[in-house]
Amino acid sequence: MKQFHESYARVTTVSTKLHANPVSPSVTNNRGCAILAAACPASAFTLLSTRTMRSVRLYVYVAAMMLSATPAFAQYKPRPLDNPPTGESYHIEGSVGLWFRSGDLDIASSGGGILSGIGGTDINAERDLGMPQNSTLPDFELILRPARRHKLRASYIPIQYTGSATLTRDIVFNGQKYSIGIPVTSTLTWHAARFNYEFDFISNNKGFGGLILEAKYTDVSVELDARTFGLAEFARAQAPIPAIGGIGRFYVVPNISITGELTAFNLPTIEDKYSGHYVDLDIYGTLNFTNNVGVKGGWRTLNMGYLVKQDTGAFTLNGLYFAGVLRY
């Protein structure tokens, strides 16, 4: 090492050529030995610069992508977990529909006043009076919803049938006898109204389940007219009927639901003079186009019967229905 340093100190010539070939600057000693002290080749600088520039361009590209994605991410708002399904954000809901019903209607009316005690014949509206068994009825419903779990509901179905027939048997109505072979025209009017309060003890974005407390108002009147024979009688029965029941709804998808509703009442026979029952079952599906507009369709059955002294009635209606729904 000492000899090397001494030889290095005696450098006398710096040359950039050796045998006419370009070389890196060299340091030579007096013995002709050369120690290369070359700087890094230009190709190394180029490689380093190229890699550096590629890295810089990559970082700039990634940063630009992140900056451009930020506005799109800010615009995306996931559906809140407690966001109600389509059609469940309202305070007022109204629906109008048509009920394509079929059924069976029976009524009996005893005499009153001086004819009191004369029992009435059980008359079938279709077979005896010629009223249609199938018909289309309008259906109206209104719902007020002051809070998510509380609803006030009202519905009304005006029912009226007319018939014309020649009696095939003797019947007694309102204490008067209508003999076989008499032509009779008849009218049956039934005002069926419902007023109820609904409390949904289960309520989430998959549906709800609740309790219904209801008052049904029933007003039934029947008129038999055979004026050619001097007969025209009229009978009427009306009463509010309490009922209790439940309702459940499940959303298959956020804008399609299936609902089932049942209300019922039963009054046991009292002194063989008074009794009554009322069963209303409704199963339907709803398609909501928006929160404010939808359609629904389903199947409904209504069964009612009563005994008031010697007057009786039994009504069964069932069938498909369809309705349009508006909400606010």
CA distance 66 to 54: 18
pTM of the entire predicted model: 0.72
Chain centroid to CA 25: how far?
A: 89
Residues of the chain with CATH 2.40.128.90: 92-327
Q: What is the mean pLDDT of the chain?
A: 81
Greater pLDDT, 39 or 122: 122
CATH 2.40.128.90 fits 92-327, yes or no: yes
Lowest mean pLDDT among 109-118, 172-181, 209-218: 109-118
Q: Is the pLDDT of residue 175 over 70?
A: yes
Band of residue 14 on the pLDDT scale cut at 50, 70, 90: very low
Report pLDDT for 59. 53
Band of residue 296 on the pLDDT scale cut at 50, 70, 90: very high
Report pLDDT for 309. 85
Q: Is the pLDDT of residue 33 over 70?
A: no
Summarised one tens digit per residue, pLDDT across range 233-261 is 888 888 888 999 999 999 999 999 999 99
Summarised one tens digit per residue, pLDDT across range 208-240 is 999 999 999 889 899 999 988 888 988 888 888
Instruction: Give Cβ neighbours of residue 288 (< 8 Å, ≥ 6 apart).
Output: 85, 86, 87, 255, 256, 257, 294, 325
Q: Is the pLDDT of residue 78 over 60?
A: no
CA distance 223 to 184: 10
Q: Is the pLDDT of residue 193 over 90?
A: yes
